[in-house]
Chain A
Amino acid sequence: MVDTTIGAAGVIQPAEVKDVELYHPKSWVTKYVFCQDAKVIAIQYAITALGIGLVALVLSWLIRLQLAFPSSFSAIGPTDYLQFITMHGMIMVIYLLTALFLGGFGNYLIPLMVGARDMVFPYVNMLSYWVYLLAVLVLVASFFMPGGPTGAGWTLYPPQAILSGTPGQDWGIILMLASLILFIIGFTMGGLNYVVTVLQARTRGMTMMRLPLTVWGIFMATVLALLAFPALFVGCVMMLFDRILGTSFFMPAIVEMGQHLKYGGGSPLLFQHLFWFFGHPEVYIVALPAFGIVSDLISTHARKNIFGYRMMVWAIIVIGALSFLVWAHHMYVSGMNPYFGFYFATTTLVIAIPTAIKVYNWVLTLWRGDIHLTVPMLFALSFIVTFVNGGLTGLFLGNPVVDVPLSDTMFVVAHFHMVMGMAPIFVIFGAIYHWYPKVTGRMMNEALGQFHFWVSFLGAYAIYFPMHYLGLLGVPRRYFEMGDMAFIPQSATTLNIFITMAALTVGFAQMVFLFNLIWSLFWGKPAGSNPWRATTLEWQTPETPPGHGNWGKELPVVYRWAYDYSVPGAKEDFVPQNQPPTPRAA
């Protein structure tokens, strides 16, 4: 461990780290495969997450094709359809968004932004990735097992999740639960690193209140995840017991095909509590890093300091704390004591306050800024619009009376895709365009990026706006086909075809993005060390891409907060965090 001195004002990290303490890769394998350097682990996480995310993207096309042209594809039967929606949802939420924000961006940015050489427990950090990869492989394996993956819906509600009517009852559900358990174990290893690195490895002068908001967002999200994932873990373990060992934690007495099953007395509601105790914080596990990253993108690309930094930090903390108190708004239709309904509706709506504060602060940051409409900025702006949009429909759903008719309709699908699907994905894209130059030393192609942005952004609205309307008509979610239902007009079918076309177009734009990622690696414009002229520490590394140990001989010293843009009287329109103040002229 590093020896720290305790000065008058607290702990001061030593400027130089003894060389032996750094982990040194000795061969190709330890440098690129079993590597303990957080930057490499970050890239491994990101590639794996994007890879499995691609699978989920393809599944979404299949879902959309079925919805637009019911039963015209012999390859998509009702069973397949349920499996597709389940796997699509689960992969997107857990294996893509959570893994990419925390494992990907967390690993890359935390050590660099706080001015550390690496994560505090590099070995555990490496294990974290390999356990994550194993979780992904187990998930993928379920596609190839007899019976295929589970079709229980990403919420995996028992009893149906483990009954024989549900696809993937043999192996699918078992592998799904096993994969989630592995994911959680792997995440916990990584999460300990992210939290403790922020707590203990900040460089000299980097107080908590000087951290870039990206770090605050990822930090708080990790804390939420560490405390929320155990609920999913418990739920998964108990359901696995029910499925394999015949216990009745969640399974009530059931007659199936005229036969009494061996189960009895279990409580499906108990699972719902556990699932949503994890599930609601999970949406903020995804949202908080997005909040943080967007704040930094906006400030950098509008050349203005973030408005209300302090309030932004407080809002992140308050949102994090509140998100543990609202879980049952996902269970209004499961039946509950009216007082509970009232309580959960209130807490749900209260979260809107700190969230709204953040939105105002972003807008005020933009106000009279020197806005550069670069690709990262466009994505950041689109996040704000889309997030507000989804948040507003959330306010509808937060009220039990409104929620009951809308629950389990396309309206909910539209809500969460806006707020947790599109909005965070936009941030991920923006962040990739923004930090790609640091990771690779080259810029991504601007024209392709603009194309990618406009198609994705407009396309997302073409997809999800009409879906709200379908939901209001009463079109249910998770249905293989509608058949001839009186309340669904012909126009709904036309609308479905339109949505599918939009979805396929957006899907195509993602291929352009992937092409850009690879193309720019070889032929992108050389970026230099600080192409966006940003203040935060990761742009001030002696080498780009940052070398092993991040900083040369000495760790940087931080003299100011992360948002000194357009400071009056300064030579440049940005002042890096590690730039010493000029001595006052005599």
Chain B
Amino acid sequence: MSITLLLLAVIGAIAAWWLSQQRLMSKPWLEVGAIDDVRGTGASPVPAATVGLGVFLAVVVTLFALLISAYFMRMQTADWAQMPAPKLLWFNTGLLILSSVALQYAQVAARRGRMEDVAGGLVAGGLLALAFMAGQLLAWQQLNAEGYFLATNPANAFFYLLTGLHGLHLLGGLVALALTADKVWRGLEPGQVRLSVRLCAIYWHFLLALWIVLFTLLTPWVGDFATICRQLLT
């Protein structure tokens, strides 16, 4: 649980920073505003949708932090046997990076108002993400073919669980991406799609970072490293 607490501490620090901007020390009972003095509310100038995405990402971070905590706790039992990570995962990682790059490209294009390029970036990003998911499925299949079934070992179970949940999040992102692409299709102005494209790009970068963390954890040497650390500590 220490990993979870650590990440919650980070989230807490962000919340504390935000709270410190909210004049918590003020004495509202003494402060009646004057008529013309319409004060700001302390809300951030960022659009609500961006704040919403930020809060959602905090939830997803907590979710995966808990899974990773569980992963490390379960790893300590004797029956743990790390399985080799399929080579294919490297290729898939490449696909996801390219997908992220494509969305970044779309975002920049949206800022500059080049709608053609936005459409291109979105489509390329979406297709690459789909390819990534197909690659992940293929990796599952390879593992199954080699006899690394879900239920044979907790290490395998975690592998399928973590990659599966990551994939589901990406799937959700694809829905948002499709909706955004649809807006571009219908010929909306750059101003009306800029935000959606930006949010998609942020979410994609987030999922990429998350995947890299998971990929690192799922490769065998992390298991060895964790064992060494534990031996050093005890």
> Which residues on A are within 8 Å of B, measured CB to CB?
1-2, 4, 6-13, 120-121, 188, 192, 195-196, 199-210, 223, 226-227, 230-231, 233-234, 237-238, 241, 245-249, 262, 264-267, 270, 273-274, 277, 305, 309-310, 313-314, 317, 321, 324-325, 557-561, 563, 580-581, 583
Contacts and interface: CB of A to CB of B under 8 A. Distances in A.
B78 A265 contact: yes
B44 A249 contact: no
B22 A227 contact: no
Contacts of A305: 29
A266 B74 contact: yes
The 10 closest A-B pairs by CB, nearest first: A10-B40, A265-B79, A561-B28, A230-B63, A247-B157, A246-B151, A9-B40, A208-B22, A559-B33, A200-B48
A310 B31 CA distance: 13
Which residue of A230, A264, A265, A558 has the most chain B CB atoms within 10 A of its CB atom? A230
B66 A230 contact: yes
Interface stretch (B52-60, B87-95, B134-142): B52-60
Given A4-B43, A201-B48, A208-B23, 14 more contacts: A202-B41, A207-B42, A227-B8, A230-B59, A247-B150, A248-B79, A265-B154, A267-B74, A309-B29, A310-B24, A325-B5, A557-B38, A559-B32, A560-B32
Contacts of A262: 151
Contacts of B212: none
A10 B43 contact: yes
B186 interface: no
A210 B28 contact: yes
A541 B11 CA distance: 36
A456 B103 CA distance: 59
22 contacts: A1-B47, A10-B42, A12-B38, A121-B48, A192-B56, A196-B52, A200-B43, A202-B43, A204-B38, A204-B39, A207-B26, A207-B39, A208-B22, A248-B151, A265-B78, A265-B79, A265-B154, A267-B73, A267-B77, A324-B5, A559-B32, A581-B33
Interface string B70-103: 1001100111100000000000000000000000
Interface of B: 1, 4-5, 8, 11-12, 15, 19, 22-29, 31-35, 38-45, 47-49, 51-52, 55-56, 58-59, 62-63, 66-67, 70, 73-74, 77-80, 150-151, 154, 157, 161, 165, 195
A7 B161 contact: no
A10 B40 CA distance: 5
A210 B43 CA distance: 13
A233 B43 contact: no
A270 B24 contact: no
A208 B56 CA distance: 21
B172 to A, nearest CB: 10
Given A237-B161, A249-B157, A195 B32 contact: no
Contacts of B195: 1
A429 B1 CA distance: 38
A554 to B, nearest CB: 12
Nearest to A321: B12
A209 B41 contact: no
B63 A234 contact: yes
A223 B8 CA distance: 12
A41 B31 CA distance: 35
A205 B41 contact: yes
A274 B40 contact: no
Nearest to B19: A317
A245 B15 CA distance: 39
A196 B19 contact: no
B35 A581 contact: yes
Contacts of A580: 35
Contact of A11 (B12, B43, B66): B43
B171 to A, nearest CB: 13
B29 A249 contact: no
B32 A196 contact: no
A208 B39 CA distance: 12
Contacts of A264: 79
